[in-house]
Structures are given as structure tokens and as C-alpha cells.
Amino acid sequence: MTWKKFNGETIQSSIIDEIENAILRETEKGYKLKVCIGTDSQVKGTHTDFATVIVLVREHHGGFMYIHQDKSIQQVSIKERMLMEVQKSIETAYSICDLLDLYDVALEVHADINTNPSFKSNKALNDAMGYILSMGFIFKAKPEAFASSTCADKMVH
């Protein structure tokens, strides 16, 4: 899995090593960190582009993120696509949660799903929320889900 920094630079080490180094660097500077993970997607003709982000938020001091992009040629409904986004976020969260526990860094999984029933993505809300919470992660949906609806959204267009 290839991860990049926001500036486009490819991460050469594993994402776990990269996150650990970032945690050590940022806590040494006195920052309290929280990690937010989210995925967004965009259907483009015959394929769907996905972007998953790991956002490290420095309390009251902005943040930075790592991005993984991939494509799928599978044709799916909006609900299935929302759940694919959640799956990608959960896989990412699961891969780094032990590291975050070790350093006592809070973790949230953000779903690009609207809590307003008049939006199509709302069909996936209960499933996504149940999935994320059952894995033991903190769940955020729109409008609080900035990792997916703002950060990942910018990377998928």
C-alpha cells in the first residue's frame, strides 16, 4: 500500500513507522495529538477513485495528513460505495490502532455519510455506524467527519 504526504512525497517506510515517527516528533514539541481516518470516493465513468487519509490533528495547532489512493472497476450502488469507504477506513484504523494505543493517541473514524435522511448517502448510515462502533472505534458522520468529507474529498477529485 503506497502512502503519500500532502505535498505528494511518497512515504518510503511503512505507514506505521511513519506515524510512529510523527507521534514522537510532535509530542516532543509538546503537541497533544488525535488521529482521524476517513475515506471518500468519486465515480468517474467506468471506475471509482478512492482516497483514504490519516489526519494527525495537533490540538489547537492545525494538523497534517497522509493519503492513500486507489481505484475500483466494480459497479456498485451508493450504499455499497459508502460501505466500501468505511471498510477502507476501518482497515487503516485497524492497522495503526495498536500503535496509537501505545502512545495514548485518540482515534476517530470519519464516514462521509450525511446524517440528514434526505441525502442518498444516509442509506448507509446505520450500517456504517454499527460497523465502526462494533470494531471499537469512535465514529463521526457529517458534519463532524472532516477527515472524509473535507480532507479525503480534496484528494479524490
> Residue 10 and residue 124: Cα distance in Å, rounded?
32
Q: What is the pLDDT of residues 22-56, one digit of tens each?
A: 999 999 999 999 999 999 999 999 999 999 999 99
Is the pTM higher than 0.95? The answer reads no
Q: If you search the block for the grid coordinates 434526505, which residue do you land on?
A: 118
Give the domain ranges of the chain: 4-156
Instruction: Name the grid cell of 117.
Output: 435522511
pLDDT of res. 1: 84
Q: With pLDDT > 70 as the criterion, what percentage of the chain qualifies?
A: 99
pLDDT of res. 102: 97
Cβ neighbourhood burial of 53 (10 Å; 0-12, 13-18, 19+): buried
